[in-house]
Amino acid sequence: MSKARAKKIKLLLFDVDGVLTDGKIWLFPAPAGFEPMAAEKKAAEHAHIGGYSIASSSIMEAKGFNAHDGTAISLARLGGLKTGLITKRISETVALRARDLRLDHVHQGIANKLAVFRSILEQEKLHASQAAFVGDDIIDLPVMRNCGLAIAVPNGRDDVKEEAHWITEHCGGDGALRDAVEYILRAQGKLKDVIEEYIQERKVKAAKLTD
């Protein structure tokens, strides 16, 4: 059933905390002269609500990402999948990682993820059945209930895993997104060719550097 759903996917969206990371949020004292960057300044707008970010000139928020998930985005791109994140928290760390990965859609500070999900579908001219979402907590359920392939991570809440069509082998922050990408591409019969194309691309780039 989940493989049949995976065959239709053209867009892969995901949460950040607990999916792209292990869910831990690291807070460090900021060095002297620290200036909040764009994302942190945006977070300050939500400071009176809470749960969006740490808006402070004396504290820095950091997250850890897995290199395997970075490769996953490259594989997804080669396989013709659009990618993007929808997260409630606002972090310059996430903004930097998103730019590094060249994600197609980046939405931070989003409490109503379903509304943004529908907006992305309209923008991409896709049906909900052509989109997958990877989540871990109850804030992700509205999108997971309305997308074609709902994916949960092992470290997700039980409520979320119970409603998922498929659960990744690896936990969030430990390669869960890679699992999701490979599952979709394998179901579409593209994974082997995409991996070979990925390897060939890097051979060409390496050759150019030695010329």
Query: What pLDDT sits at residue 92?
Result: 85
- Average model confidence (pLDDT) for the chain? 89
The pLDDT value recorded for residue 37 is 55
DSSP structure string for the chain: -HHHHHTT--EEEE-STTTTS-S--EEEEPPTT----HHHHHHHTTTTT-SS----SSEEEE----HHHHHHHHHHHHTT-EEEEE-SS--HHHHHHHHHHT-SEEE-S-S-HHHHHHHHHHHHT--GGGEEEEE-SGGGHHHHTTSSEEEE-TTS-HHHHHH-SEE-SSPTTTTHHHHHHHHHHHHTT-HHHHHHHHHHHHHHHHHHHH-
| pTM score of the predicted model | 0.87
Match 């960057």 to its residue by tokens: 37
pLDDT tens readout for residues 71-113: 999 999 999 999 999 999 988 889 999 999 999 999 999 999 9
Q: What is the pLDDT of residue 211?
A: 59
- In this prediction, residue 17 has a pLDDT band, given cuts at 50, 70 and 90, of very high
Q: What confidence score (pLDDT) does residue 1 get? A: 86
- 156 vs 208, which has greater pLDDT? 156
In the chain, the domains with their CATH numbers are 2-23+64-210 (3.40.50.1000)
The residues, any chain, with a CB within 8 Å of residue 137's CB and separated by 6 or more, are 15, 18, 156, 157, 160
Mention every residue, 6+ apart, whose C-beta is less than 8 A from residue 39.
53, 90, 91, 92, 94, 95, 108
pLDDT number for residue 55: 57
Question: Residue 208's pLDDT is what?
Answer: 65
Rounded to 5 degrees, φ, ψ at 41 are: -65, -35
pLDDT given at position 45:
58
